[in-house]
Structure 1
Amino acid sequence: MTIYRHALFLLAIASKTGTALATEGGGSIYPLGAEEYICCALPKPGIYGMLWGRHFNADKIRNNDGKVVSDQSFKVKASAIVPRIVWITPVEIMGASLGFHAIMPIVNLNVKVAPGVSQNKTGIGDMTVGGVLGWRLGDKLHSVAALEFFIPTGDYHKNNIANIGRNHWAVQPVLGVTRIDPIGLNMGIKTMWTYNFRNKDTNYLSGQELIIDYTLGWGVGKGWTLGVGGYAYWQVTNDSQDGKSVPDNKGRAYAIGPSIRYDSGKKWFITGKYQVDTGVRNRADGTTFWLKAVLPF
C-alpha cells in the first residue's frame, strides 16, 4: 500500500533549501506504522475485508542533521481510505496457513511547498499484492512470513507537486510475530525490508529500507486493549540518480503514540491510533492518525 508523504516536490524543495530528501521525494512506498496488535496472526480459512483510514499532516522537513529546512508555508496533508481483501486458504505448507491479499488505496493529497506553489490530487494509489504463511505457535503466539509487491498504479507525473503514485515497482519480504491475550500482554512486531526499483521517468533509484511496525499493549477485558504503537525506519543504502550515488540523504524516523483496540468477540474489531514522528532525518516530520476495521465475509 503506497502513500502519501512521498509526494513532496523534490526539485522545488531542493532549490529552496539546498537539501536532497531521502528516497525520491522523501517518503516510502510502504505506509509507516500501518500495522497493529494482530498484525502477524492469520484468522481461520475464509475471506476477510479490511478497511483502513489514514490522515497524515506535516509542516516541516528536516535535513541530514535534523534541522528544519522548510519555511512556514510548507504543508502536506494526505488522507486515504484503504480497502484490503484477505483470502486465507485451507492449504497448509510446513505447518503454516497459506493466504493472499490485495490492497488498493484511494488517496486525497494536498501539497504546498511555497507561497503560491501548491497542488491537490485525488485518485487511486499504488496497489499492493502478496502472499503469506502464518504459523500458530501456541494459544497466544503467532508468526508470519510474507512477500509483498507494490505495483505503480497510482497517478504520477515527474513535474507534479503532488503525486499519489511513486512510478516504480518495489518488493518487500516480511517477518512478524504477534501475541494476543484478552487479559494480559499484547504485542505485534512486523519487520520489513523494502527493495525499490528505478523510476524510469526520472532515472532515480531510491535506496533500500528497513522498517519495523510495532504495538505494545495490555488487554483490560471486555474486548479492550490499551497501549502504544508506531514504527522505526532506516534507509540502509544510498539513492542514486543517473547511476551516481546521492550522498548524505539517507532517511530515518521513529514514531510513537497511543493505540486502542476493541474486539467485539463476533469476528470483527476496530483499532485506532495516533503517532508522532521523532528523530527525523531527510524527510517530512509530522503526525498520523489511523483507524482500522476488520470484517469477515
Structure 2
Amino acid sequence: MRKLSHSLAVCALACLATTATAKEGADQYPNGAENWLAGALPPPGTYYLNYFGYYSGDLRNGDGKRVSGASAEAWFNAFRVVHVSGHRILGGNWGWYAILPVVSQKVSLGSTNTVAGLGDATFDPFVISWHTDNWHWATGMSINLPTGRYKEGDPTQSIGANYWSIEPLFAVSYLNKDGWELSAKFMYNIKSSNKDFRLAPGAEKMEYASGDEFHVDYLVGKRFGAWGVGLSGYYLTQINKDKLEGHTLAANPGVWSEGRRGQVFAIGPSVTYTNASGVHFIGQWQRETGVENRFGGDKLWFKAIMPL
C-alpha cells in the first residue's frame, strides 16, 4: 500500500504534463475554438476551417497554486473540413466534419522537451442543424481518436492522450436584427482509459482513467456591418475523479481524500470580419482563471471559415 501511495503521489504531478494546445492536460478538444456562429451551421455545401494559435501556461495544483518548474507552451494549427448536405433528418440538415491538429510544443516538468507532430484527430459523422428566424442550433456526437504522438512514461514528449473518447454536443446561436449574437456550444466528454501509462520510461504499465468532463464554449458579441466585437471563452469542469489502477488520484500530493478534478474558466476579447466573398476571419485572446489540476495561462487564436 505504501508503494502504491508513493506511485500515486508521483503520478499526481507527472500525468498533468501532457500538452497545452489542441489539448491542455489531456484535452482532445481545443477549448474556446467555437464562438461566432457556433450553433449556426452554414447552408448546404463544403467548408474549410483553419485554427492557428499559441498557448502558454503554468501547471496549477488542486488548490489553484502554481507548481514550480512546470510549464507548457505550444504553437498549433488545426485543419477542419465541414460538409452540410441537403438531406433532411427531423427537419434539420445532416452533415459531418473532421479535424486534424498539428502541434509544436515545449513542456517542462523536471525535464524539458520540445516536440512536434500530429495531435488527436476528431470525426463527427452525424451532425444535424436547424434554423428559424433568430435561432440556430445543432447537435452531434464527436469521436476523438488517439492519433497523436504518445511517449510512454514521458509526458513532456507526448502530444496525444492515448485514449478514445466520445463527446455528445449541442450548439446554439441567437442572432437578432440589431446585430447582437449569443452563442454557446455544450459538450460532455466520455473517456476510455489509457492502458499504456508509465510513471517513467521502462516502468511497469498501469491503467490511468481520466474523469469525464462537461465543458462549454461561449460568445457574447455585436456586429457592425462586416465587423463584430465581443467576449468569448470557455468553462470546463471535471465530473469524475482521475484514477490510477482503480485508485482515486490525489488533488495534491499527500491529500488522498480530495481526489483530482480539473476545472478552468477563460474569457477574453474577440473580433470578427466577413469579406465580400463570405470568408469569416476571427481573432481572439483568452485568459484562463480559476484553474485547478490543469495548466492555466493564455491562448491566442486566429480562425478562418471559407466555403470551398
| TM > 0.5 | yes
Find the counterpart in structure 2 of residue 218 from structure 1: 222
Deviation at 1:241, TM superposition (A): 1.1
Residue 183 of structure 1: CA displacement? 3.9
The separation in 1 between residues aligned to 2:273 and 2:73, in whole angstroms, is: 28
Does 2:164 correspond to 1:169? yes
> What letter matches 1:279 in structure 2?
G
Tell me the equivalent position of 1:80: 76
Note if contact 2:279-2:304 (Cα within 8 Å) is conserved in structure 1. yes
- Residue 180 of structure 1: how far off its partner (Å): 3.0
Distance 1:67 1:156 in 2: 27
**C-alpha distance 183-56 of structure 1, shift in aligned 2 (>3 A):** same
Q: Distance in 1 between matches of 2:107 and 2:17?
A: 18
User: Could you say what secondary structure the match of 1:74 adopts?
Assistant: strand
- TM-score scaled to structure 2, two decimals? 0.85
Residue 105 of structure 1 aligns to a residue whose secondary structure is strand
Report if the CA contact (8 A) 1:181-1:219 is conserved: no
The answer to whether the 8 A contact 1:24-1:206 is kept is: no
CA deviations over 1:158-196 (Å, ceiling 9, x no partner) = 222221111100000001111235742112100000001
Write out aligned runs for 1:126-141 (5 A).
126-130=120-124, 131-138=126-133, 140-141=134-135
**CA-to-partner distance for each residue in 1:224-244, whole Å, 9 max, x for gaps?**
110100001100111111122
**Counterpart-to-counterpart distance in 1, 2:141 and 2:149:** 24
- Residues 218, 233 of structure 2: 8 Å contact kept: yes
Q: Which residue of 1 aligns with 2:299?
A: 288
Query: How far apart are the structure 2 equivalents of 1:46 and 1:129?
Result: 18
For residue 118 of structure 1, what is the amino acid of its counterpart? T
C-alpha distance after superposition, 1:40-83 (max 9, x if no partner): 1111111111111021101x222212222x22x43311111111
> 2:73, 2:299 → 1: CA distance?
10
Hey, what's the Cα distance between the residues in 1 that align with 2:8 and 2:153? 13
Assess, with a 3 A threshold, how the Cα gap between structure 1 residues 64 and 21 changes in structure 2: closer, same or farther. Answer: farther
Identity rate of aligned residues, in percent?
31
Q: Which amino acid aligns with 1:159?
A: G
1:231–1:91 Cα change, 3 Å:
same
Residue of structure 2 aligned with 1:66, choices 64, 67, 91: 64
- Name the SS for the 2:157 alignment partner: coil
Q: Report the counterpart of residue 152 of structure 2 in structure 1.
A: 158
Whether 1:105 aligns to 2:101 is yes
Query: Which of 174, 186, 190 lines up with 2:185 in the alignment?
Result: 190
Say which of 258, 264, 268 aligns to 1:257. 268
1:118 matched to 2:112: yes
Q: Quote the offset at 1:245 in angstroms.
A: 2.4
Corresponding letter in the other structure for 2:84 = I
2:71, 2:209 → 1: CA distance? Answer: 25
Query: Is 2:210 the partner of 1:206?
Result: yes
Gap runs ≥5 in structure 2: 1-5, 20-24, 198-206, 251-258
Asked if structure 2 preserves the Cα contact closer than 8 Å seen for 1:21 and 1:282, the reply is no
Which of 238, 248, 263 is 1:235 aligned to? 238
Partners in 2 of 1:210 and 1:31 — Cα distance?
13
- Per the alignment, residue 8 of structure 1 pairs with none
Deviations 1:122-142 (A, max 9, x none): 11111100021000022x320
> Aligned partner of 1:274: which letter?
W
Structure 2 distance, partners of 1:121, 1:52, is: 20
Give the direction of change, closer, same or farther, for the CA distance of 1:285–1:13 in structure 2 (3 Å limit).
farther
Letter in 2 for 1:239: D
Whether the 8 Å contact between 1:23 and 1:239 is mirrored in structure 2 is: no
In structure 1, runs of 5+ residues without a counterpart are 1-10
How many residue pairs match? The answer is: 279
Residues 290 and 181 (structure 1), Cα distance of their counterparts in 2 relative to 1, 3 Å cut: farther
Instruction: Tell me how large the CA RMSD over aligned residues is.
Output: 2.3
Equivalents in 1 of 2:176, 2:104: separation in Å? 36
Moved more, 27-36 or 161-170: 27-36
Q: For residue 99 of structure 2, what is the amino acid of its counterpart?
A: I
1:27 positional shift: 3.5
Aligned partners of 2:44 and 2:289: how far apart in 1? 39
The 8 Å contact of residues 14 and 109 in structure 2, kept in 1 or not, is answered as no
CA gap 1:192/1:280 in 2 versus in 1, 3 angstroms: same
Change (3 A) 1:236 1:267: same
